[in-house]
Amino acid sequence: MKNLLNNNIIETHNKKYFSSHKRDLDVFKNFCLKNKLNYQGIKKKILKFKIALPSWGLGTGGTRFGRFPIDGDPLNIFQKIEDCSIVNKLVGSTPSISPHFPWDKVTDYVELKEYAKSFDLNFDLVNSNTFQDQEGQKYSYKFGSLTNNDVKIRERAIELNLECIRIGKILGSKGITVWIGDGSNFPGQANFSKSLDLYLKSMKKIYEKIPKDWKLLIEHKPYEPSFYSTTINDWGTSYICAKELGPKAKCLVDLGHHLPNTNIEMIVSRLIFLKKLGGFHFNDSNYGDDDLDTGSTNPYKLFLIFLELLDDRNKKDFFNLSFMIDQSHNVTDPIESLILSADEILIAYAKALFVNKKKLQFFQNNNDPIGATLELKKAYNIDVKILLNQVRIEKGCAIDPKYLCIR
Amino acid sequence: MKNLLNNNIIETHNKKYFSSHKRDLDVFKNFCLKNKLNYQGIKKKILKFKIALPSWGLGTGGTRFGRFPIDGDPLNIFQKIEDCSIVNKLVGSTPSISPHFPWDKVTDYVELKEYAKSFDLNFDLVNSNTFQDQEGQKYSYKFGSLTNNDVKIRERAIELNLECIRIGKILGSKGITVWIGDGSNFPGQANFSKSLDLYLKSMKKIYEKIPKDWKLLIEHKPYEPSFYSTTINDWGTSYICAKELGPKAKCLVDLGHHLPNTNIEMIVSRLIFLKKLGGFHFNDSNYGDDDLDTGSTNPYKLFLIFLELLDDRNKKDFFNLSFMIDQSHNVTDPIESLILSADEILIAYAKALFVNKKKLQFFQNNNDPIGATLELKKAYNIDVKILLNQVRIEKGCAIDPKYLCIR
Amino acid sequence: MKNLLNNNIIETHNKKYFSSHKRDLDVFKNFCLKNKLNYQGIKKKILKFKIALPSWGLGTGGTRFGRFPIDGDPLNIFQKIEDCSIVNKLVGSTPSISPHFPWDKVTDYVELKEYAKSFDLNFDLVNSNTFQDQEGQKYSYKFGSLTNNDVKIRERAIELNLECIRIGKILGSKGITVWIGDGSNFPGQANFSKSLDLYLKSMKKIYEKIPKDWKLLIEHKPYEPSFYSTTINDWGTSYICAKELGPKAKCLVDLGHHLPNTNIEMIVSRLIFLKKLGGFHFNDSNYGDDDLDTGSTNPYKLFLIFLELLDDRNKKDFFNLSFMIDQSHNVTDPIESLILSADEILIAYAKALFVNKKKLQFFQNNNDPIGATLELKKAYNIDVKILLNQVRIEKGCAIDPKYLCIR
Amino acid sequence: MKNLLNNNIIETHNKKYFSSHKRDLDVFKNFCLKNKLNYQGIKKKILKFKIALPSWGLGTGGTRFGRFPIDGDPLNIFQKIEDCSIVNKLVGSTPSISPHFPWDKVTDYVELKEYAKSFDLNFDLVNSNTFQDQEGQKYSYKFGSLTNNDVKIRERAIELNLECIRIGKILGSKGITVWIGDGSNFPGQANFSKSLDLYLKSMKKIYEKIPKDWKLLIEHKPYEPSFYSTTINDWGTSYICAKELGPKAKCLVDLGHHLPNTNIEMIVSRLIFLKKLGGFHFNDSNYGDDDLDTGSTNPYKLFLIFLELLDDRNKKDFFNLSFMIDQSHNVTDPIESLILSADEILIAYAKALFVNKKKLQFFQNNNDPIGATLELKKAYNIDVKILLNQVRIEKGCAIDPKYLCIR
């Protein structure tokens, strides 16, 4: 994909499909009119919707069994920014990058910010990495970071987070996501309550330094890298911590961080109910934290999650949520995967917008599950491709960008 | 729904939508032409496709915690046939009913067959119930039926199956499905190998009486009603039994009979590979054998299963497979649920037919997961409603029958 | 088991084993002395420990596929009390029964209380059943009870709970457990937040009537009878509701009410941390809410749960927790199962008491998982049978009561 | 642990505990006599039992998120042999090491064999690694090894296996275990049947070169490193492949390679029934292929697995099975973990040997789950430490070696 954007590739591509698109759009608008669907209102919302790209997602991912990098894997944050710009030029809804420290450390963050700006990109939430030792690191995170028994190691982990905040302020970020792998592998290894206590103590020190207009997102995960217990393991724990910390602290939902059979959309609803939903890490999974491409195995689930996000209780907050892709691109070109994933997210969002919520509520209030499910399916079965193409055209981006990915 | 079919409801309904449908159909045909999709060929296949309705699915289902029947629950197999006829008149692809014995016992099976015929319905596979004691039953299935330690109880269970075969022959069935709940609730309660031995011994006696043009389907399930071990618990066990019994024995896949995170489409592929796939029980599930409405929670999964069924290795056998709905309608009108479910199955089948298999193979052979996934999504995102409506019109059935369900 | 207690069976039985027991006890006491284990202190705690028996557990259980009752199933609460008394005479740690209404309704609750008293039994927490319609019931719980859209049905469900409280007061209960099956089977069927709102509203009306010295326990469960969403589905939801209601409201943990792979002992720890743990429903499970006999498939898990209960943070509250067995005896004599289960619970408790917590903390503080796991195993591998027999002898109960169960 | 064996540590240690052990042994023998337990027969079997150590298990393990090595991690196969010898000197039942290629490649395998022999160690099954590219590797396994679309890559993977066989012959191994990570991450990426076909074709070429007195073990795993489909994903697939290949091919069961809630002991039973059980990879897990220490989270499960292995149908084959530990020691000293794990395996084996199988069969035949479960628990609750210490003493090893691990 690297060279995709030479030679006006978008223009050439769009020219080829434009007349066909225009005809399709007329049909689609007619369809909306006939079915009393608010084409303009929905388009406006999609135009406004933004998804952040993860800096670590630009390189080839892997498992503990190995990694198979492709040629052209970006070597540093500057190259990652260039790759992000390719995605965003095609897709148009991914104008920001979420950096990870110390992985993305540079000497001059003002320069970094300017570099991103030169590609019309800005910085989304910063991420702190305390689940891994860096070369020459004096204190090890082997037995925990923010919850480590050793106050020196906890302080080091806190300091890394504070550094992230300082960097983030320079970069123009508006928040930080904290995920820790702290936990245990053996029954008896850790005292759960003590760990949680230490976590809260450490997080309070971080919270103190969160700027007024920032948010602090807590990301939970049931297991991996710890395989018996994990300190921040579920939404309940995430919530009580966010509650304890204060109004700037919220919960982040990663779609792959749940036990088998979890009703994720209900967790989304709970956090909205509690006014503690802060954002998302989008991906898909079949078994655990597989970090597969968003929407690649269960697109209906993604649609249901967006449906929850459109609940009246979330109206004011929807556009304040942080939406981010978090995937491990083990067997694909990361740029291609990110283009497809952004598209899948927009598809789910658009379809959810087409649900007639008044009618849905009518069926809910009248205990009519068949009516309710039909209302959902009606919206879900709408082919929203044309609408998304129109959004991209209006943003100067590509018609059907994903088809540019096929060799 | 009971009175739906009075007063030419289909005619009236179709008249209302016909001109709109015709316009849509032209658009759809054009779309197919432009994209080189074989509209006529695909339509022909869908016209030929048949799904059986389960006699026990016509009444309100329930759980161990209770059952909430609706008014008008059919009281016997004759009334169930009437209900099936409503479904089939609207949907057109469900011309048969699968009976369950002893539940559906009558005194005159010739009369029963004639009664079904008078509604243009015939009988699909018969099912034997040996997981439940009937009133006044001398020998109990509490500790197993075909695998019971007591030879008298095994013989009784075998005899019920033989009776099913005799009845099925009168009814015009072409096969029998055997599901047993035999298993254990405590480690140590049963000897797994002995149980499997007894199962095979019993099944051989049943197999002997299977008519030449019949099939014997083995249905596996990991748990429930037994909660520690189940004799026929997975596809592997089902396969070795079918293999041992002979060519008329095949495996049935119920979509809800799998452990969490199972890749069901791979099981379908395995059984095709081994030439032992016999048929399906369609439903959907989130947790276990939930018996929810087909396609209601994960429609993409259903599409992927049909994609496997269209594999070249299954070409000859596809139309010999037994497709059946098996659901528990706990909170809906069974007739409405069956109409929706039949529609969901046709949607998945139609979409799978639209996959360009040559291109898919190209991407597979060239290790291009992005290309492959796009090929699947392209087909999956086609709105096939118009095509299915056309199929129904050609069968004298209803346009968009599911919308007749909304009160 | 019914006739077990005729003819001084315990006395005769104990006489047979007494001298052997005395020898074993000396060995065990010596072992404790040598290993600095506080024999007397631990025995005292076990003597004090109490487990309630569930009135519904005395009859044969079943699944949606059938029920296979044994001869002598108790027909009413009076007969259930008699059965409980058999269990308690043998076991000695089960002096109370937990009734379920309307199942256990009688005309005279004073008489009922006296009847129980005549067997040295008293009444534990009352349970309200709003997951099932009773014959002739005007308003149906089909679409929910405390969360039903219809205010009349909600009021009816509230009223049943208030009735339970009134009855419980007469019976001498000190609390009520509320489990509802409310939820949905289809995406879209219910608005999660609205349901939770209605739940809280209803529960507040119940909470108002909770006597000062009572507790109100909220029991969560992820699914069944609802298979898409459940209103009170996890500990997080249970907690926020208990928090909202007030100090008398606490959370009950049923060991089978968790998604696959859940770390239940961590949930126990969380609720202790939050001062909201109220009690337990003991059972065992392999797949879902199997309601198998406690400790029958994973006794180490039970031990780990008790270890959490012995955490310093729970010291003051331990003996205020409500411990109850909640099982479905599908293939066993309920009396036998309850005897075994009570024994398994005591075994787990006793083993947990033998853990040297000082040493465990040392290993935890020094990041020594091997040391910690060895400390656990050391206690777990102690055969505590002799100690439990001594406890039973001191209570006038049977030595090794479970061996009385073998025919 | 490295320096543990200096200065006659075992002798000193044993001297300290010997008189106490002798007293305990007398008590234990008496207990056996009184309860008609065959002390001598069981001891003889345990003396004979052998567990192989995995060469890769001697170094610190890790996850995709990081690895935290300890000082003294062995740098090569020679150092790993030294570490194995420490384990075996203490434990006595682990006289062999299972090498992994190309990881354990050396220039002179005769020398390697001699080196192991000098520590009284020999070589167990060889393992081929085709799930990872080695530096400078021409053909990549990114899209599969034995099932790769590219014949050149398949041949390379076959050749590595043949090389393993050649090396294994020099080392005195008697078999090879083949585990591949081949699979796919996206629906549509791979054709399941084609992959299985290619697998069989490749394996046949390997099978041809298997020496007469060797076995070829197939290891299945449901997922990881592939997260949508895995070619050899379950026991059913493993079995049909072993069957197709021939009598030398058998199935290996890794305790962590199963979907949630799988009844692993039933799979063991099935493979015994089919005469295709070849061996084990022991470990424990809570979520997936966690590779935790054997018996650390569910010791009763391990006991149940050994109970299946003692089934009459497996009598002749038991001592021909390959028992191996396969763990990832992420937070412990590998030597300590291996000592504990070997002990846990022996404990489970010993306890299973104490089950009175005649009585168990009686209860099974009489449908008495309570009797059966009590028979199991009776054996499980025996503290077999004394017996295992006696076994170790007779082998010149340490009394209670695991307590040597505590700092």
- The whole-angstrom distance between C133's CA and the closest CA on chain A is 17
Please judge whether D222 and A287 are an interchain contact, meaning their C-beta atoms are less than 8 angstroms apart.
yes
With 80 as the cut, is the pLDDT of residue B397 above it?
yes
With 90 as the cut, is the pLDDT of residue D7 above it?
no
Of B300, B371, B406, which has the smallest distance from its Cβ to A407's Cβ?
A: B371
The pLDDT of residue C137 is 83
Q: Which residue of B has its CA nearest to A264?
A: B286
B189 touches chain D (CB under 8 A): yes
Tell me the mean pLDDT in the region D253-279: 98
A36 touches chain D (CB under 8 A): no
pLDDT digits (tens, 9 = 90+) for B242-272: 999 999 999 999 999 999 999 999 999 999 9
What is chain B's Cα-based Rg? Answer: 22
Percent of chain D at pLDDT > 70 equals 98
**Residues constituting chain A:** 407
Q: How confident is the model at residue D136 (pLDDT cuts 50, 70, 90)?
A: confident
Rounded Cα–Cα distance for residues A384 and A398 (Å): 15
Tell me the mean pLDDT in the region D247-252: 98
Of D149, D223, D260, which has the smallest distance from its Cβ to B365's Cβ?
A: D149
Q: How confident is the model at residue D53 (pLDDT cuts 50, 70, 90)?
A: very high
Task: Provide the phi-psi class of D93: left if phi over 0, else alpha when psi is between -120 and 50, else beta.
Answer: alpha
Please judge whether A370 and B403 are an interchain contact, meaning their C-beta atoms are less than 8 angstroms apart.
no
Strands C66-67 and C62-63: antiparallel
C229 CB-near residues (< 8 Å, 6+ apart): A263, A266, C183, C184, C189, C190, C192
The pLDDT of residue A138 is 84
Rounded Cα–Cα distance for residues B31 and B154 (Å): 59
- The whole-angstrom distance between B178's CA and the closest CA on chain D is 20
Q: How confident is the model at residue D6 (pLDDT cuts 50, 70, 90)?
A: low
- The whole-angstrom distance between A350's CA and the closest CA on chain B is 14
With 80 as the cut, is the pLDDT of residue D57 above it?
yes
The pLDDT of residue B140 is 95
Nearest to A268 by CA among A251, A283, A287: A251
Backbone angles phi, psi at B253, to 5 degrees: -105, 115
Q: C225 preceded by cis ω (within 30°)?
A: yes
Tell me the mean pLDDT in the region A304-329: 97
With 90 as the cut, is the pLDDT of residue A299 above it?
yes
Interface chains of chain A (3 or more CB pairs under 8 Å): B, C, D
pLDDT digits (tens, 9 = 90+) for D192-219: 999 999 999 999 999 999 999 999 999 9
Mean pLDDT of chain D: 96
Task: Evaluate whether B258 touches B222 at the Cβ level (below 8 Å).
Answer: yes
Tell me the mean pLDDT in the region C115-137: 94
pLDDT digits (tens, 9 = 90+) for C37-59: 999 999 999 999 999 999 999 99
With 60 as the cut, is the pLDDT of residue C407 above it?
no
Please judge whether B131 and C297 are an interchain contact, meaning their C-beta atoms are less than 8 angstroms apart.
no
Instruction: Name the residue ranges covered by the structural domains of chain D.
Output: 50-355
- Chain CA centroid to CA B186, Å: 32
With 60 as the cut, is the pLDDT of residue D292 above it?
yes
List Cα–Cα distances, D267 to B235, D51, D277, in angstroms: 12, 21, 9
The lowest-confidence range among A87-91, A126-130, A133-137, D172-176 is: A133-137
The pLDDT of residue C403 is 80
Coil, helix or strand for C284?
strand
Nearest to B98 by CA among B26, B16, B197, B172: B172
With 90 as the cut, is the pLDDT of residue A6 above it?
no
What is the reported pTM?
A: 0.97
With 60 as the cut, is the pLDDT of residue A156 above it?
yes
Cβ contacts of D69-76, under 8 Å, gap ≥ 24: D70/D333, D72/D2, D76/D104, D76/D106
pLDDT digits (tens, 9 = 90+) for C310-351: 999 999 999 999 999 999 999 999 999 999 999 999 999 999
With 60 as the cut, is the pLDDT of residue C2 above it?
no
Let me know how many helices (H) and strands (E) chain A has, helices first.
13, 14
- Chain CA centroid to CA B80, Å: 17
Please judge whether C224 and B286 are an interchain contact, meaning their C-beta atoms are less than 8 angstroms apart.
no
Interface chains of chain C (3 or more CB pairs under 8 Å): A, B, D
A289 touches chain C (CB under 8 A): no
Q: C211 preceded by cis ω (within 30°)?
A: no
pLDDT digits (tens, 9 = 90+) for B130-163: 999 998 888 899 999 999 999 999 999 999 999 9
Q: What is the 3-state secondary structure (H, E, C) of B234-294?
A: CHHHHHHHHHHHCCCEEEEEECCCCCCCCCHHHHHHHHHHCCCEEEEEECECCCCCCCECC
Q: How confident is the model at residue A119 (pLDDT cuts 50, 70, 90)?
A: very high
A41 CB-near residues (< 8 Å, 6+ apart): none
B368 touches chain A (CB under 8 A): yes
Tell me the mean pLDDT in the region A335-356: 98
The lowest-confidence range among A23-27, A135-139, B192-196, C63-67 is: A135-139
Task: Evaluate whether C21 touches C392 at the Cβ level (below 8 Å).
Answer: no
Tell me the mean pLDDT in the region D265-277: 98
Please judge whether A333 and B370 are an interchain contact, meaning their C-beta atoms are less than 8 angstroms apart.
yes
The pLDDT of residue D271 is 98
Of D66, D181, D185, which has the smallest distance from its Cβ to A132's Cβ?
A: D66
With 80 as the cut, is the pLDDT of residue A2 above it?
no
Which chain D residues touch B235 with a CB distance below 8 Å?
236
- The whole-angstrom distance between B186's CA and the closest CA on chain A is 24
Tell me the mean pLDDT in the region B202-206: 98
Tell me the mean pLDDT in the region C120-144: 94
Residue with tokens 């030419």: B8
**Residue C405 has which token pair?**
């169960």
Tell me the mean pLDDT in the region B318-338: 97
Which chain C residues touch B228 with a CB distance below 8 Å?
286, 292, 297
Q: Considering Cα of D96, then D101, then D102, then D105, what sign does the dihedral take?
A: positive
Q: How confident is the model at residue D406 (pLDDT cuts 50, 70, 90)?
A: low
The pLDDT of residue B9 is 85
A336 touches chain B (CB under 8 A): yes
pLDDT digits (tens, 9 = 90+) for C364-379: 999 999 999 999 999 9
Which chain B residues touch C287 with a CB distance below 8 Å?
222-224, 227, 288
Helical residues (DSSP H) of B317-368, grouped into ranges:
334-353, 357-365
Q: How confident is the model at residue D403 (pLDDT cuts 50, 70, 90)?
A: confident
pLDDT digits (tens, 9 = 90+) for A228-259: 999 999 999 999 999 999 999 999 999 999 99
A289 CB-near residues (< 8 Å, 6+ apart): A221, A224, A254, A256, A257
The pLDDT of residue D9 is 85
Rounded Cα–Cα distance for residues B15 and A398 (Å): 42
ipTM entry:
0.96
With 80 as the cut, is the pLDDT of residue A5 above it?
no
With 80 as the cut, is the pLDDT of residue A405 above it?
no
Tell me the mean pLDDT in the region B70-78: 93
**Residue B327 has which token pair?**
């659901």
Of B133, B184, B222, which has the smallest distance from its Cβ to C68's Cβ?
A: B133
Tell me the mean pLDDT in the region B190-209: 98
B123 touches chain D (CB under 8 A): no
The pLDDT of residue D405 is 74
pLDDT digits (tens, 9 = 90+) for D9-32: 899 899 999 999 999 999 999 999
Please judge whether D364 and B149 are an interchain contact, meaning their C-beta atoms are less than 8 angstroms apart.
yes
Rounded Cα–Cα distance for residues D367 and D369 (Å): 6
Q: How confident is the model at residue A8 (pLDDT cuts 50, 70, 90)?
A: confident
Tell me the mean pLDDT in the region B333-338: 97
- Continuous segment of H or E residues that includes residue B394: helix B385-394
Task: Evaluate whether C255 touches C264 at the Cβ level (below 8 Å).
Answer: yes
- Continuous segment of H or E residues that includes residue B324: strand B322-325
With 60 as the cut, is the pLDDT of residue C4 above it?
no
Which chain B residues touch A327 with a CB distance below 8 Å?
none
Q: Which of residues 248-267 of A touch D (CB under 8 A)?
A: 260
Please judge whether A192 and C273 are an interchain contact, meaning their C-beta atoms are less than 8 angstroms apart.
yes
Kindly tell me the burial class for residue D269, based on how many C-beta atoms sit within 10 Å of its own C-beta (0-12, 13-18, 19 or more): buried
Domain B50-355 annotated CATH 3.40.630.180 = no
With 80 as the cut, is the pLDDT of residue A7 above it?
no
With 90 as the cut, is the pLDDT of residue A404 above it?
no
Nearest to C237 by CA among A230, A241, A273: A273
With 70 as the cut, is the pLDDT of residue A1 above it?
no
